[in-house]
Chains A and B, each alone.
Chain A
């Protein structure tokens, strides 16, 4: 019981403390790839600390939704950290950790952020909200299908169960259904976390923004929470990619040594995925907004093929 609670805290701590570093490393890598020296990987921590010490300017036209959203967003990401297998296959809230819950925890944050974007009544906020919702609606079926392809194979929709099943049969990681689902999930990850080619996280041009446009009105501690939550979302999506498809190192034992090894394995897998993400983001241009549905439809097709492959190659 106590070990379980400690593990839960550890998982939340790893996600909460590791997320800014992940974003920092990604930015540094991207800067190096375009020939800049770039900010230090620890820069996001400095940004967050400074933002927490600043005043928050809140528009008079906003309602309680604007002020509540950063907390809802952060809380939903922290709860997600308790649900998904980050270090161990059976985290404290793992009994509830099925795919549907996971999807809607992510969407809860998206929903509130979209409302907050509309709340201030600025033109760019509303534009960002409508785009974010459009992308989320197109990405959602793919996430469900891609993870269902894994669940069909494992015979359970519990995330811990899926991880244990793939771990028990390592060759599963290279079967076609698995690889197709990975590709589909990777594309959806790009869309859901606001990465190129769907959204440019470094843009200053309001007309091309999706996620940034919704948070233009936030300042001070609210902005710190929103940015922290966005970093955690990226961390959690990459962790899902790493642990659902390549679950090596994720342990089912709640003991110090296996958990430490699990943490090491996680760091290694995230390093590989972050490098991959930086390479993708450096080498593709942002898609025209009306072509984003085509990309997401492509990833949906991959997810359907993956589900079919499960049945065909049984």
Chain B
């Protein structure tokens, strides 16, 4: 326990302290002011896996780690759609997940918006027209923004969030 604490204190903050001018910080700053205006500087995100290969999930998980540290911008991942302002949907929406996704959307309180993540979420990607998928998130719930990529990088995910919040207002 003591060794771990010493390590924590010696390591300090690794959340990229320097790159104020980098793409991440610029996007993050604009994101923060936009969230400030529209959601009172607090945006809770519910991630929905609608049949994804988990490539997008890996990148999304990266956002919460010490390097990207999403929480410093006032964003936060929550455990229930009832707590969420934003649904981050990945995957080509398999037939089995279509109803679950629709219900998740119904369970999210207004105001809310949906972001489709990855090429699969956009139009089904390489799974498009396969018999097991509905294909694209917007066939099931209204999509406000799309973040393309296979998978999109964490920086692209932050930029996509900005886009969505900008359009909502």
Report A's interface with B, CB cutoff 8 A: 31-40, 43, 46-47, 49-50, 53-57, 203-206, 209, 212, 216-220, 223, 279, 282-284
Contact = CB atoms under 8 A, between A and B. Distances in A.
A37 B69 contact: yes
Interface string B7-22: 0110111110100000
B80 A50 contact: no
Given A46-B74, A55-B109, A35 B12 contact: yes
A31 B42 contact: no
A126 to B, nearest CB: 15
Contacts of B111: 54-55
A57 B109 contact: yes
B80 to A, nearest CB: 4
A49 B5 CA distance: 34
A120 to B, nearest CB: 10
B83 interface: yes
A220 B109 contact: yes
B69 A283 contact: no
B1 interface: yes
Given A37-B72, A46-B74, A219 B83 contact: yes
Nearest to B15: A37
A33 B12 CA distance: 7
A49 B79 contact: no
Interface in B70-108: 71-72, 74, 76-80, 82-83, 85, 106-108
B14 A39 contact: no
Nearest to A221: B109
Interface string B104-122: 0011111100000000000
Contacts of A216: 79-80, 82-83
A219 B2 CA distance: 39
Contacts, number: 100
A204 B9 CA distance: 26
- Do most interface residues of chain A lie in helix, strand or loop, or is the interface mixed? loop
B165 to A, nearest CB: 13
Given A35-B11, A54-B111, A217 B1 contact: no
A223 to B, nearest CB: 6
Contacts of A220: 109
Contact of A38 (B5, B69, B77, B82): B69
Contacts of A38: 69, 71-72
Nearest to A219: B82
Given A56-B109, A220-B109, A33 B79 contact: no
Interface in B29-84: 39-42, 44, 65-66, 69, 71-72, 74, 76-80, 82-83
Given A50-B39, A223-B82, A35 B1 contact: no
A216 B71 CA distance: 20
A279 B9 CA distance: 11
Counting chain B CB atoms within 10 Å of each CB, the highest count among A40, A50, A53, A203 belongs to A50
A36 B107 contact: no
Contacts of A209: 79
A282 B13 contact: no
B40 A217 contact: no
Nearest to B43: A50
Given A34-B66, A220-B109, 13 more contacts: A33-B9, A36-B65, A37-B13, A38-B72, A40-B72, A43-B41, A49-B40, A54-B85, A204-B77, A204-B79, A216-B79, A216-B82, A283-B5
Counting chain B CB atoms within 10 Å of each CB, the highest count among A204, A209, A218 belongs to A204
A117 to B, nearest CB: 12
B30 to A, nearest CB: 17
Contacts of A284: 1
Given A34-B8, A204-B77, A279-B5, A50 B109 contact: no
A57 B108 contact: yes
Given A38-B69, A216-B80, A217-B80, A282 B109 contact: no
B1 A43 contact: no
Contacts of A279: 5
Contacts of B40: 46, 49-50, 53
A217 B79 contact: no
Counting chain A CB atoms within 10 Å of each CB, the highest count among B5, B66, B78, B82 belongs to B82
Closest 4 CB pairs of A and B: A219-B82, A46-B42, A35-B14, A55-B109
